[in-house]
Amino acid sequence: MPQKVRIALDAMGGDVGASVVIHGAAISLSRHPDAEFLLFGDSAQIEAQLAQHPALKAASRVIHTDVTVSNDDKPSQAVRRGRKRSSMWLAIEAVKKGEAGVAISAGNTGALVAMSRLCLRRLPGIDRPALAAVWPTMRGRSVVLDLGATIGGDAHHLVALAVMGSAMASVRFGLERPTVGLLNIGVEEMKGHEEIREAAALLRAMNLPQLDYTGFVEGDGIHKGAADVIVTEGFSGNIALKATEGTARQFAQALRGALTSSWRSRIGYLFARNALGVLRDTMDPGKSNGSVLLGLNGIVVKSHGGTDAEGFANAVHVGYELVRYDLLIKINQMLNRDGGALFPAPAAQEAVS
Amino acid sequence: MPQKVRIALDAMGGDVGASVVIHGAAISLSRHPDAEFLLFGDSAQIEAQLAQHPALKAASRVIHTDVTVSNDDKPSQAVRRGRKRSSMWLAIEAVKKGEAGVAISAGNTGALVAMSRLCLRRLPGIDRPALAAVWPTMRGRSVVLDLGATIGGDAHHLVALAVMGSAMASVRFGLERPTVGLLNIGVEEMKGHEEIREAAALLRAMNLPQLDYTGFVEGDGIHKGAADVIVTEGFSGNIALKATEGTARQFAQALRGALTSSWRSRIGYLFARNALGVLRDTMDPGKSNGSVLLGLNGIVVKSHGGTDAEGFANAVHVGYELVRYDLLIKINQMLNRDGGALFPAPAAQEAVS
CA angle at residue A310 from B252 to B257, to 5 degrees?
20
CA atoms within 13 A on the CB side of A332: 22
* A335 DSSP 8-state letter: I
SS (H, E, C) B118-171: HHHCECCCCCCCEEEEEEECCCCEEEEECCCCCCCCCHHHHHHHHHHHHHHHHH
Q: How far apart are CA B149 and CA B113, in angstroms?
A: 6
Nearest Cβ partner for B151 among A136, A193, A278: A193
- What are the residues whose beta carbons fall under 8 Å from the beta carbon of A68, sequence distance 6 or more? A12, A41, A42, A82, A86, A87, A88
pLDDT in tens, A37-61: 999 999 999 999 999 999 999 999 9
Chain A nearest CA to B303, separation (Å): 15
Count of Cβ atoms closer than 10 Å to residue A97 Cβ: 11
Q: How far apart are CA A52 and CA A225, in angstroms?
A: 42
Report CA-CA distances (Å) from A276 to A138, A284, A287, B271, B277: 17, 12, 15, 14, 16
Chain A nearest CA to B324, separation (Å): 31
Nearest Cβ partner for B272 among A183, A251, A269: A269
Q: Which chain A residues have a beta carbon less than 8 Å from that of B183?
A: 239
DSSP string, B233-287: -HHHHHHHHHHHHHHHHHHHHHHHHHHTSSHHHHHHHHHHHHHHHHHHHHH-GGG
* Residues forming a β-bridge with B36: B6
* Residues forming a β-bridge with B129: none
pLDDT at residue A306, rounded to an integer: 87
Q: Which chain B residues have a beta carbon less than 8 Å from that of A218?
A: 238, 242
Q: How far apart are CA B122 and CA B261, in angstroms?
A: 54
Report CA-CA distances (Å) from B104 to A27, A72, B54: 55, 46, 21
* Residues forming a β-bridge with B76: none
Q: How far apart are CA A106 and CA A303, in angstroms?
A: 4
Nearest Cβ partner for A247 among B223, B234, B261: B223
Q: CA nearest B108: which of B134, B67, B83, B78?
A: B78
Chain A nearest CA to B47, separation (Å): 32
Q: Which helix (H) or strand (E) holds A61?
A: strand A60-64
**3 state DSSP class of A20:** helix
Which chain A residue has its CA at the smallest distance from B152's CA? A193
Which chain A residue has its CA at the smallest distance from B77's CA? A190
**3 state DSSP class of B1:** coil
- What are the residues whose beta carbons fall under 8 Å from the beta carbon of A206, sequence distance 6 or more? A159, A342
Nearest Cβ partner for A220 among B218, B245, B275: B245
Length of chain B: 353
A331 within 8 A of A164, measured Cβ to Cβ: yes
Q: What is the pTM of this model?
A: 0.87
How many CB pairs (< 8 A) connect A and B?
212
Q: CA nearest B138: which of B274, B239, B236, B283?
A: B283
pLDDT at residue B260, rounded to an integer: 85
Q: How far apart are CA A45 and CA A68, in angstroms?
A: 13
pLDDT at residue A348, rounded to an integer: 37
Q: Exposed, middle or buried: residue A83 (CB in 10 Å: 0-12, 13-18, 19+)?
A: middle
Chain B nearest CA to A350, separation (Å): 19
Q: How far apart are CA B68 and CA B46, in angstroms?
A: 13
* Residues forming a β-bridge with B41: B64
Nearest Cβ partner for A268 among B235, B238, B272: B272
Q: CA nearest B176: which of B129, B134, B223, B208?
A: B208
B interface test, pick of A244, A260, A262, A263 with most B CB neighbours within 10 Å: A244
Name residues of chain A where pLDDT drops below 50.
Answer: 344-353
DSSP string, B165-189: HHHHHHHHH--SS-EEEEE-S-SST
pLDDT at residue B345, rounded to an integer: 41
CA dihedral B146, B148, B152, B154 (to 10 degrees): -20
Q: Which chain B residues have a beta carbon less than 8 Å from that of A253?
A: 138
Which chain B residue has its CA at the smallest distance from A233's CA? B236
Q: Which helix (H) or strand (E) holds A250?
A: helix A234-259
- ipTM metric: 0.86
Q: CA nearest A111: which of A307, A314, A300, A335?
A: A300
Name residues of chain B where pLDDT drops below 70.
Answer: 1-2, 283-287, 328, 332-353
Q: Does the distance separating the beta carbons of A270 and B272 come in below 8 Å?
A: no
Q: Which chain A residues have a beta carbon less than 8 Å from that of B72?
A: 188
Chain A nearest CA to B143, separation (Å): 15
B134 within 8 A of B288, measured Cβ to Cβ: yes
pLDDT at residue B340, rounded to an integer: 52
B135 within 8 A of B243, measured Cβ to Cβ: no
Sheet holding B300-302, edge to edge: B60-64, B35-41, B5-10, B102-105, B300-302, B291-294, B130-136, B141-145, B229-231, B179-183, B212-217
pLDDT at residue A323, rounded to an integer: 87
Which chain B residue has its CA at the smallest distance from A236's CA? B236
pLDDT in tens, B296-324: 989 899 998 888 999 999 999 999 988 88
Which chain B residue has its CA at the smallest distance from A139's CA? B250
* A67 DSSP 8-state letter: B
A11 within 8 A of A104, measured Cβ to Cβ: no
Q: Which chain A residues have a beta carbon less than 8 Å from that of B257?
A: 279
Q: Does the distance separating the beta carbons of A220 and B242 come in below 8 Å?
A: yes
A36 within 8 A of A3, measured Cβ to Cβ: no
Q: How far apart are CA A97 and CA A87, in angstroms?
A: 15
Q: CA nearest B256: which of B227, B279, B233?
A: B279
